[in-house]
Structure 1
Amino acid sequence: MSSRRVLKAAQAIREVVGMAILADLKDPRIENATITKVEVAPDMRQAKVSVSVMGDDAKQRLCVSGLQSAAGYLQSKIAKRIDTRYTPRLKFELDMGVKKSIELAKVLDEVLPPEDLPPTESLDARAEDTELEELTDQEEE
């Protein structure tokens, strides 16, 4: 279990890196990137930053390499924000969670039958018709 201090540092790193991507970094390789999570080592010397990038595999790899080349600048911004003995060294990795969930949704759409249910009004009308038929059958008997 991570300590509260490590969790606070991870949150601060996530905020600093996310804002730097939006406002400060001018590298054309870094586009459509979102920081999904940050894991900080217990000794606070390393931080693994998970990044979700929209685009094909080449764009994703290019963005991660752009972020890795900007790691020194980002570490200096983190050092200003958190007061620790060591500034965590950043390692960027691609988060494939979003891509996998989209692929899973596509597979489920192919496998599961389509939901062609009639609107609720027609279901109500069918129920009323059935009740009417039952009543008329009872009256005839």
Structure 2
Amino acid sequence: MDFQRSRRVGEEIHREISALLQKGLKDPRIGFVTITAVEVTPDLHLARVFFTVIGDEKARKDSEAGLARAVPYLRRELGKRLRMRYIPDILFRYDGSIEYGNRIETILKEINSSPDNGDADDHGDSQAD
């Protein structure tokens, strides 16, 4: 039962923080940020908000600092929008999974386009005969 509630609260926090970011925060350090997931502890006291950002390492660090600075504002806004007795503490974490997936995709494309790949296909066809 607690898992269902924390999941639902996480979904609501995800939706509301995404809307607040879309509306725009006044901190110029926050770049093109996308919220990818929100995990809420079963006691509803901590929400880990995972995000990605378009740009380089500097853009990531700047956005992370800007988001950390915006936590009090975001909690206040969540308090107005969500009907909860206690609004969880918010902890922003960079989500490197998309970057990691893009790197793997690039490697796979390089492998598929390498000249050695043609030899592997010829070898595979001879076994099929």
TM-score (ref. length: structure 2): 0.82
C-alpha deviation, 1:80, in angstroms: 1.6
Written as runs of structure 1 = structure 2, the 5 A alignment for 1:84-103 is 84-103=84-103
Stretches of 4+ aligned residues off by more than 3 angstroms: 113-116
User: Structure 1: which 5+ runs fail to align?
Assistant: 117-141
> Which digits, 9 at most, give the CA deviation of each residue in 1:15-45, with x for residues without a partner?
1111111114121111110000000011001
Aligned length: 116
8 A Cα contact 1:9 1:82, kept in partner? no
Cα distance in structure 1, aligned partners of 2:83 and 2:36:
23
Q: What is the distance in 1 between the residues matched to 2:109 and 2:24? A: 40
Q: Distance in 2 between matches of 1:52 and 1:107?
A: 21
Tell me, yes or no, if the aligned pair for 1:79 and 1:87 is still in contact at 8 Å.
yes
- Computing the radius of gyration over CA atoms, which structure comes out larger, 1 or 2? 1
Q: Which residue pairs with 1:66 in the alignment?
A: 66
Structure 2 portions without partners, runs of 5+: 119-129
Distance across 2 between alignment mates of 1:113 and 1:22:
39
Whole-Å Cα distance in 1 between the matches of residues 8 and 77 of structure 2? 16
Is contact 1:21-1:30 (8 Å) kept? no
- 1:72-94 Cα offsets, whole Å, 9 max, x none, are 00001111222223210000010
So what's the TM-score if we normalise by structure 1? 0.76
